[in-house]
Structure 1
Amino acid sequence: MEDLTNFLTSIGPEVEDADEESFFLFSQDIPSSNLGFVDSRAPTLDVTIHGQDYIVRQSPTLLSSSRAGGTTGAVLWKITPLIAEWLSTPTNNPLWTNSILNPSSTVLELGCGISSLLALTLAPSISHYVATDQEYVRRLLRENLDENARSFPSSSSPRTQPKGRQRRQKQQQQQPQPRNPTSNITFAALDWETDIPASLKQSLELSSSKATEDEAEADEEGEDQGFDVLLSCDCIYNEALVAPFVRTCADFCRLRPTYTPDHNQNRSKRKPTVCIVAQQQRMPDVFEAWLRETMHVFRVWRVADEVLGGKLGVGSGYLVHVLVLRGDGGC
């Protein structure tokens, strides 16, 4: 677990007290972002991340409906493109430089909403991305995935055309078939109150996917039902969501070993799940309730401003915290 220890050391100091953390963050001048929508009335939005253009189809009608269970996932929130840009930046990002994210990673997102931006920006660089939310987002999420997949440049397109029919045929035979850029993105409806995290991979038929060398050696531990990274972007906006959200995060993390700084004590080849929780600052009471509940079962780090690169962090109105399950599995 040396990579994980190096990662946690590099992102900033560990949060030790929920009251102090909340007081410090909410005593800063925070720009007004209203509720946090980009434009809740627009049927489509244009977003550019790392020079790649994306089209996000929204549902203003659904957002304003009285659907039971909430409708906030029907539109794009301001924090999402910022997090997508940061997560998909491999240079100087400790998630990548410490192999927390790498080509063999499996990533799970809680509360993905309709935009698909996190999935679209991360999926090309990892093994598999599972986006979860309530069932109502499925159709629009699929439309956004399909719409944006068509605009992705093909990495297998030949740069030059060979002269002569035989050379052309030979190169065509050697060229790999272009991969659908969204083929490793899966959506699953997930209810934080009723669904069982341990059954998610099995239900999606992902538990028997190709294993890395370390995972192959860990076969004696049984099938891996866990994930390398768990993402959440702006899912905590009222206190009623806090307990089921934290419980769901913890249940997924318990599918992997817990973090022990002395990695020699843990002989499992599987790495602990790392949780990345991004959120807009709104109500201090809700944030503090989330942090208190989280610190019962997780160790927590706030990602430092210099690591986030300027658009996120203290004073921006947007925060990123990293969680790892406590060594005793939480109480």
Structure 2
Amino acid sequence: MDLLTNFLTTIGEEVEDAEEESFLLFSQDIPSANLGFVDSRATTIDLTIHDQDYTIHQSPTLLSSSRAGGTTGAVLWKITPLIAEWLSNNTNNNNTKVNPLWTHNILTPTSTIVELGSGISALLALSLSPKISHYIATDQEYVQRLFRQNLDENANTITSTSTGSSSKSSKAGKKSSKALAAARKTPQGQATGNGNVIFTSLDWELDVAGSLKEGLGLCTTTVGDSGEEEEEDKGFDVVVSCDCIYNDALVAPFVRTCADLCRLRPVYTPPGSSGSSIGEGGSSGTGRGRGRTPTVCVIAQQQRSPEVFEAWLRETLRVFRVWRVSDEMLGEKLMSGSGYLVHVLVLR
């Protein structure tokens, strides 16, 4: 059984019916978390993740403004530090289980992650970037100033990681370093970075998500066993989103953006099914980037409206296979009854 199939088999139950899943989840008692802000009035918030202290700057003024396009990314939400802690757990700390994305090599030191709707906190970038090759955070342009401030002021937590690279990725490393250096010099409104983290604006309705990595100059060319260069990898290992689904208007563009990002890698095809092939590294897939691991989406959200959740899931099931992450894999802080949900998606 290949790594991705094994991961999906152990992560939790596959979801096949949006209405049934919504009823099951929202018929349970859900603790009140108000809208889900940590503290919408504070300008700074101190917190600790895996014994690392962070100070996060946020903007209550911007949150309460009438800015067109929304302002929810201006403050820190309760689910974000919980997901940052869960996703970044790649060692046995405090008797907690290693995150299954790491144990099944979905995430490795050479991985590239893209985050949708990062908001101002940069917490996921801060906690994950020391463990991977590249972290690309995306959101609307208005969050960039505070995102960069939080990234810069907590920069002592970020250590550049090139472990796990080999001769196959040496060209990519040189190219990526140049791209990151260029990103740090670009004017506001363009990509900016710190270490191996880049922030760039991405409008789910107007921008072409499929050209994101290519536009940042981060595409890598790998060398196959035959010594010949393969096509550039324009895709991502993991797409992560934390609490981005809270009204109907966002559902279609959000799902479309996730799908566009995932189409840059092979579609997941279970071993033994028609047209399946086992690619390099034990992953199955066909189509673009043959041999590369299909992209895995991790979608975390707070339980609010069952109608919005069901609309999201119904739209998602049209193009993705979906698994709800089990309590055993999530741990106490995110398990059933916490008011939070985590689903894993792979493109059909």
TM value normalised by structure 2: 0.82
User: Identity percentage over the alignment?
Assistant: 70
Does 1:195 pair with 2:195? no
Q: Which residue is equivalent to 2:189?
A: none
Does 1:236 pair with 2:245? yes
SS in 2 for 1:150: helix
State which of 109, 113, 118 in structure 2 corresponds to 1:112.
Answer: 118
Q: Comparing 113-122 with 85-94, which one deviates more in the overlay?
A: 85-94
Q: Which residue is equivalent to 2:178?
A: none
Tell me, in whole angstroms, the C-alpha distance in 2 between the residues paired with 1:218 and 1:154.
29
Q: Which residue is equivalent to 2:282?
A: none
**Is the Cα–Cα contact under 8 Å of residues 313 and 320 in structure 1 kept in the other structure?**
no
Tell me, in whole angstroms, the C-alpha distance in 1 between the residues paired with 2:211 and 2:134.
17
Q: Describe the shift of the 1:7–1:147 C-alpha distance in structure 2 as closer, same or farther (beyond 3 A).
A: same
Q: 5 Å matches for 1:1-331?
A: 2-91=2-91, 92-150=98-156, 182-208=194-220, 219-220=229-230, 222-262=231-271, 264=277, 266=285, 268-326=290-348
Tell me, in whole angstroms, the C-alpha distance in 2 between the residues paired with 1:312 and 1:296.
26
Q: Describe the shift of the 1:216–1:134 C-alpha distance in structure 2 as closer, same or farther (beyond 3 A).
A: farther
Structure 1 position 245, deviation (Å): 0.2
Tell me, in whole angstroms, the C-alpha distance in 1 between the residues paired with 2:112 and 2:86.
18
**1:18-77, Cα deviation, whole Å (9 max, x unpaired):** 111100100101000000000010000001000000000001110000000000000000
- Greater fraction strand: 2
**1:144-185, Cα deviation, whole Å (9 max, x unpaired):** 000001366899xxxxxxxxxxxxxxxxxxxxxxxxx94000
SS in 2 for 1:198: helix
**Is the Cα–Cα contact under 8 Å of residues 218 and 269 in structure 1 kept in the other structure?**
no
Tell me, in whole angstroms, the C-alpha distance in 2 between the residues paired with 1:187 and 1:95.
23
The structure that has the greater radius of gyration is 1
Tell me, in whole angstroms, the C-alpha distance in 2 between the residues paired with 1:138 and 1:3.
36
Equivalent residues, number:
299
For 1:45, the aligned partner's letter is I
Consecutive unaligned residues in structure 1, runs of 5 or more: 156-180, 327-331
**1:221-253, Cα deviation, whole Å (9 max, x unpaired):** x22111110000000000110000000000111
Q: Comparing 308-317 with 24-33, which one deviates more in the overlay?
A: 308-317
Q: Which residue is equivalent to 1:177?
A: none
Tell me, in whole angstroms, the C-alpha distance in 1 between the residues paired with 2:155 and 2:84.
16
Tell me, in whole angstroms, the C-alpha distance in 2 between the residues paired with 1:104 and 1:214.
16
**Is the Cα–Cα contact under 8 Å of residues 222 and 232 in structure 2 kept in the other structure?**
no
**1:243-269, Cα deviation, whole Å (9 max, x unpaired):** 000000001111110001125264612
Tell me, in whole angstroms, the C-alpha distance in 2 between the residues paired with 1:250 and 1:215.
30
For 2:124, the aligned partner's letter is L
**1:180-239, Cα deviation, whole Å (9 max, x unpaired):** x9400000100000111222112211114xx5666997843x221111100000000001
SS in 1 for 2:277: helix
Tell me, in whole angstroms, the C-alpha distance in 2 between the residues paired with 1:102 and 1:154.
14
Q: Describe the shift of the 1:214–1:33 C-alpha distance in structure 2 as closer, same or farther (beyond 3 A).
A: farther
Tell me, in whole angstroms, the C-alpha distance in 2 between the residues paired with 1:56 and 1:39.
11
**Is the Cα–Cα contact under 8 Å of residues 123 and 182 in structure 1 kept in the other structure?**
no
Tell me, in whole angstroms, the C-alpha distance in 2 between the residues paired with 1:216 and 1:136.
47
Tell me, in whole angstroms, the C-alpha distance in 1 between the residues paired with 2:39 and 2:296.
31
**Is the Cα–Cα contact under 8 Å of residues 218 and 270 in structure 1 kept in the other structure?**
no
**Is the Cα–Cα contact under 8 Å of residues 58 and 74 in structure 1 kept in the other structure?**
yes
SS in 1 for 2:55: strand
TM value normalised by structure 1: 0.86
Tell me, in whole angstroms, the C-alpha distance in 2 between the residues paired with 1:313 and 1:219.
44
Q: Describe the shift of the 1:152–1:61 C-alpha distance in structure 2 as closer, same or farther (beyond 3 A).
A: same
